[in-house]
């Protein structure tokens, strides 16, 4: 589990003189799924995701499942894709993610989304802190 703690030393007047963040990171995987939606089908896709997302977040080993849309800004390096849903996921480990892929509600979700999804791209990532060189 990921958690953060803080240590602060206070002067006699209550002023913070030292602040230290302590991170303990348990190995996990991160998944970035890019879902390309067929033209004029985004509304239907979002309705389906709104009912599907709470089911995934209840799965054993799911630390986060968050479908997102591009947020338009004036940042020049940003690439906006209006017909894309990007799902940001965190799982305890690869085995839990694989369990997710064959869960009954995921299979039902894929059937409902079959005519709505143009293509899918998935990246499975690990923390740099858990990598040896």
Residue boundaries of the structural domains of the chain: 28-130
pLDDT in tens, 56-100: 999 999 999 999 999 999 999 999 999 999 999 999 999 999 999
Global pTM value: 0.78
Q: What is the pLDDT of residue 8?
A: 46
Percent of the chain's residues with pLDDT above 90 = 74
Q: What is the pLDDT of residue 2?
A: 42
pLDDT in tens, 16-27: 444 444 445 567
HEC assignment per residue over the chain: CCEEEEEEEECCCCCEEEEEEEEECCCCEEEEEEEEECCCCHHHHHHHHHHHHHHHHCCCCEEEEEEECCCCCCCCCCCCCCCEEEEEEEECCHHHHHHHHCCHHHHHHHHHHCCCEEEEEEEEEECHHHCCC
Q: What is the pLDDT of residue 27?
A: 76
Say which CATH architecture domain 28-130 belongs to: 2-Layer Sandwich (3.30)
């Amino acid at each position: 589990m990921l958690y953060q703690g803080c240590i602060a030393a206070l002067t006699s007047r209550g002023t913070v003189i030292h602040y230290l963040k302590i991170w303990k990171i348990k190995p996990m995987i991160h998944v970035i799924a890019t879902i390309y939606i067929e033209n004029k089908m985004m509304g239907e896709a979002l309705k389906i995701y709104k009912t599907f997302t709470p089911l995934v977040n209840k799965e054993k080993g799911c630390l986060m499942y968050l479908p997102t849309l591009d947020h338009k800004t004036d940042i020049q390096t940003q690439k906006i894709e209006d017909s894309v849903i990007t799902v940001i996921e965190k799982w305890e480990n690869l085995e839990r993610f694989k369990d997710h892929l064959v869960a009954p509600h995921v299979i039902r979700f894929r059937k409902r989304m079959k005519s709505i999804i143009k293509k899918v791209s998935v990246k499975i990532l690990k923390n740099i802190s858990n990598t040896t060189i």
